[in-house]
Chain A
Amino acid sequence: MTAVEQRVAAPTISAQLADFVRDLRYEDIPEPVIAHTKELLAHQLGLALSGQRDESARRAVQLAQQLSGPGGACTIVGDRGRADLLDAVFANAFLLGHDGRDDVIMPSGVHPGIIVEPVAWAVGETTAATGRELLVAIVAGYEVMTRLCGSVWTWGAHVPRRPNNVVAPFGAAATAARLMSLSRAQTVSALGHAGQLSTGNAEGTEQLTTCHPLLARNGVTAAILASLGVPAAAEIIEGPNGVYRSYFFQDAPPDLAAGLDSPQREFAIKHAGLKRRIGSELNMVAMELAQHVIESRGLRPAAIERVDIALPVERRAREEVWEAELAAGACGTDMRVGALRFRIANILADADIDTMRFRQAPDAEILGLLERIQLKYEDGHPIRYARLVVTMRNGHTYSAEGDTHVIEPLNWAEWLSESGRGVLSERRLKRVAQLIVDLEDSTVPELMEAVVPDE
């Protein structure tokens, strides 16, 4: 068999992913994975509810309703107004991601929840999906996004970019395709269109909150195009001009979708960490180290001469984006949430990791602290690694290092109650929590109905 014949004979990566997306059954998913998927669902519905208290997210909701016009088919979480499918996906993704606490899977750094969940809610509502179908579609979407990123560290590519810019539409399309019960050929096409709808680059941080909602929208658009019978490239991932070569500047690993049909497979969603604090997951270790050193030693900011933070060399390109924004005087909240030096300066000033200082423009104290914080990069560390060395004006130094960020377990009921306070009644919040617990026996329209405030 020639190489060309082999290529024709072997199923494409999209076809393998499509088979997985279509064939995955609720019964194939281990109980702990189902439990974690429910936990993520509760976490991200809670985030979306809390987004209703955010001015920027409220504007996104208004825009979605304005674009939709009256009488949309889909729920906007925590809102009595409705929107059309794509606009509801946009609004819910914005609500969910308004403060950057959506989930993330390391080491690739993909953010599946902000993409997959809003798509699953809206498409599941329009197709009246069961709770089981919702769970399966979410698991499939997480898997596709994570698989596609493979082992690529997108910040290290010739043109550095955020991984979601490339893989998010695939996850959205996979979830939508599953909930829309697309055929195999249509699912392959949905992924093919998704590859054409990858979008965004790493320039600027001002529009970070809008980029994920747009990517989620694009993924659903891809699935709709496929549902209308528009075919797309079967080799969109591994083709000579496909996604891997175009965005990652390398050939797609041939085993990208390997093992998806194995009963022993691991599900990527298991590795999705719930972010309990506002900020980039990659910054959490350094932030916790700073908090620990400041708190345990009772250090006052005025006595600190300098802070040196060592990070893995792979993070350089990523941090350069944030540093360029800092240097340019960008003052958006998104920038302040994500820039490591800025967050460390906040912690030094307030001796509190959960300080909300990033909501304000930097004052003289923060600017002064920023000048004393340096980043450097070292080979041979895992991607979450950070080492912090605090040098005091009296010459004393304190250091700490780590590469693990411990995520506290989530109490769903408490979390929903806290995040939905003032948005939904306590009765509704309890119902949402219970519906998620019993999701196997409920439907997406029921769940969506529960997240709408009383009149």
Chain B
Amino acid sequence: MTVTAQVREGVTITEQLADYVLGLRYEDLPEQVVAKTKALLAHHLGIALRDQTSREARLGTQFAALMGGTTGQHTVIGRRERADLMDAVFANSLLMLQGARHDCVLPPNVNPGVAVQPAAWAVGEDVGASGRKFLTAVVVGYDVMTRLHAPTWTWDLDVPRPAKWSVSPFGVAATVARLYGLSRERTVHALGHAGQAGIGIYEGAAQHWMMHALAARGGVLAASLARAGFPASRTPVEGTHGLFESVFLQAVPDAVMDNLITLGDDFAIMRAETRKYPAGVLNGPPVKLLLQLLLANGIRSEDVARVDLVLPCAREAREAVYDTAEQRGPSWLLAAVLADGCLDERRFDEPPDERRCAMRERVRLRFEADRPLRYARVEVTTTDGRQFEAEGDRVEVPPSDLRESLSAGTAAGLPIDRLVDLMQHLEDVPNVADVLACLRPEPTR
């Protein structure tokens, strides 16, 4: 039997996804999936609680205040002010994006946490979802988003387009549809509207940091339209003009169909990685390798004549855009390590200073064929001619417990013990609004 033959005949991809979205029960989730989901939720809440002054935090609160004022019904993490649904999703997504430590599933290179989670918190609060319902909705969002991205490195397309913000609304819509308790037909329509909500092109990489938050809004709106009874296409994924033909420029590959069959058995959330450094998953290894070389060999930055960073050829087109346009591209990150001895995410919002610019002059990128996508090799040449080299493709992130993840809440004056307790026993929480109540500082007396 071919892969496509195993997929139910006459049933569209979104109908299959809708059946999964509505059919998955909390009891179907293995213990480790529940534990991982709670860990990722705590991880992103912890990021959101770290700083209320970053560019992301400022934008979210300013946008919400400008749109709906501060009298909405939804929690903005770490703020006393409330916001409307869409603005809360936007603000919380931005807060979770601080420091670029949000999660990633690679392959296919999607970032479900910063889209699915803020939507789940806001809508969960809206409907008074139980912890179990909430956890299940988050899991289905990760699964839908991850499975809809083709196993394609989008920079290799004839006309490269970032697909992650085209699949992101699907995941968000799935999560929201589940939380709203939409019917099968309306869940299909939610995914259909999500198919029209994809955004983003590769031009202007420096502003891509907020695209996740905008895509999350699009997904919530898609589900809201379906909830209000607006129909949408049943074939937004595989249709002649749907997601695959219009973004990936190809028909739906067998791999995607194959992935549908494992829904409910192989949970994408288990493959979600968090980051040790404030850098993308692909840029973590070069940062780690340079830090290791400097530390292990006692090299001071002023002793470094040059750093050669060798990356796979597959990244060449990407870095032509990201490395030149964004402080967070690989050569900028290595320059920051050389200049500061570490990656200080608070400095990302500042224009690069003279020292960092001088260090960047010493970093060269090279690209080699036949290397896996995550591969990096760092070659350091010192001013006295010594050479050091290290290679790798992973940054291991030690597991952190929920209390550690949420520790930033202490400084924010939140009831951290109660928050940790609720998160540890989220499956027993009758209403996730109780969790969100712990994320709002008490009014000043």
Contact = CB atoms under 8 A, between A and B. Distances in A.
Interface in A268-283: none
Interface stretch (A102-110, A189-197, A410-418): A189-197
A369 B229 CA distance: 31
A196 B199 contact: yes
Contacts of B66: 224, 228
A193 B230 contact: no
Q: Tell which of B68, B73, B204, B243 has the most Cβ of chain A within 10 Å.
A: B204
Interface in A219-270: 221, 224-225, 228, 230-233, 235-236, 239-243, 245-247, 249
Contact of A68 (B68, B195, B196, B204): B68
Contact of A246 (B69, B86, B159, B225): B159
A60 B229 CA distance: 9
Interface stretch (B174-182, B210-218, B419-427): B210-218
B201 A199 contact: no
A241 B207 contact: no
A232 B199 CA distance: 15
A210 B193 contact: yes
A201 interface: yes
Q: Tell which of B207, B229, B241 has the most Cβ of chain A within 10 Å.
A: B241
Interface stretch (B232-240, B284-292, B305-313): B232-240
Contacts of A71: 69, 71
Contacts of B204: 192, 195-196, 232-233, 235-236, 239
A161 B63 contact: no
Contacts of A203: 195-196, 233, 235-236, 239-243, 246
A22 B270 CA distance: 51
A158 B239 CA distance: 15
Contacts of A230: 59, 207, 210
B231 to A, nearest CB: 4
Interface string B226-265: 0011111111100111110110010000000000000000
Interface string B62-85: 110011110111000000000011
Q: Is the interface of B mostly helix, strand, loop or mixed?
A: loop
Given A199-B218, A204-B192, A207-B233, A161 B207 contact: no
Interface string B157-199: 0011100000000000000000000000000010011011111
Q: Tell which of A205, A209, A241, A249 has the most Cβ of chain B within 10 Å.
A: A241
B108 interface: no
A211 B192 CA distance: 12
A228 B62 contact: yes
A453 interface: no
A56 interface: yes
B207 A214 contact: no
A197 B199 contact: yes
A204 B232 contact: yes
B67 A201 contact: no
A240 B204 CA distance: 10
Nearest to A209: B230
A196 B71 contact: no
Nearest to B200: A196
Contacts of B200: 196
B241 A235 contact: no
Given A230-B59, A241-B202, A84 B68 contact: yes
B35 interface: no
Contacts of B105: none
A75 interface: no
Q: Tell which of A84, A196, A231 has the most Cβ of chain B within 10 Å.
A: A196
Interface in A290-326: 320-321, 324
B13 to A, nearest CB: 12
A71 B84 CA distance: 12
B160 A207 contact: no
A62 interface: yes
B96 interface: no
A195 B203 contact: yes
A202 interface: yes
A66 B211 CA distance: 25
B207 A193 contact: yes
Contacts of B210: 225, 230
A195 B208 CA distance: 12
A84 B62 CA distance: 15
A81 interface: no
A80 interface: no
A201 B242 contact: yes
Contacts of A233: 203-204, 206-207
Given A69-B84, A201-B246, A59 B228 contact: yes
B230 A207 contact: yes
Nearest to A220: B67
A241 B197 contact: no
B228 to A, nearest CB: 4
A59 B226 CA distance: 11
Contact of A84 (B67, B73, B198, B233): B67
A332 interface: yes
Contacts of B59: 225, 228, 230
Contacts of B342: none
A452 interface: no
B183 to A, nearest CB: 16
Contact of B225 (A63, A159, A160, A243): A63
A85 interface: yes
Given A59-B228, A206-B231, A192 B207 contact: yes
A63 B224 contact: yes
A241 B62 contact: no
B229 A239 contact: no
Contacts of B85: 67
A246 B199 contact: no
Contact of B67 (A85, A160, A161, A241): A85
Contacts of B67: 84-86, 224
A196 B207 contact: yes
B18 interface: no
A209 B403 CA distance: 47
B137 interface: no
A362 interface: no
Contact of B230 (A56, A245, A247): A56
B376 interface: no
Nearest to A227: B66
A326 B331 CA distance: 53
A204 B199 contact: no
A87 to B, nearest CB: 8
Given A69-B72, A204-B235, A199 B225 contact: no
Given A68-B84, A86-B86, A204-B192, 7 more contacts: A159-B245, A198-B199, A203-B236, A203-B241, A207-B193, A214-B197, A232-B207
30 contacts: A59-B228, A67-B224, A68-B68, A85-B67, A86-B86, A158-B159, A160-B241, A195-B201, A196-B204, A196-B207, A203-B239, A203-B240, A204-B232, A204-B235, A209-B230, A210-B225, A210-B230, A210-B232, A214-B197, A218-B199, A224-B63, A225-B59, A230-B59, A235-B203, A235-B204, A241-B160, A241-B201, A242-B201, A246-B203, A247-B201
Enumerate the 3 nearest inter-chain pairs by beta-carbon distance, A residue then B residue, closest first.
Answer: A204-B233, A233-B204, A241-B202
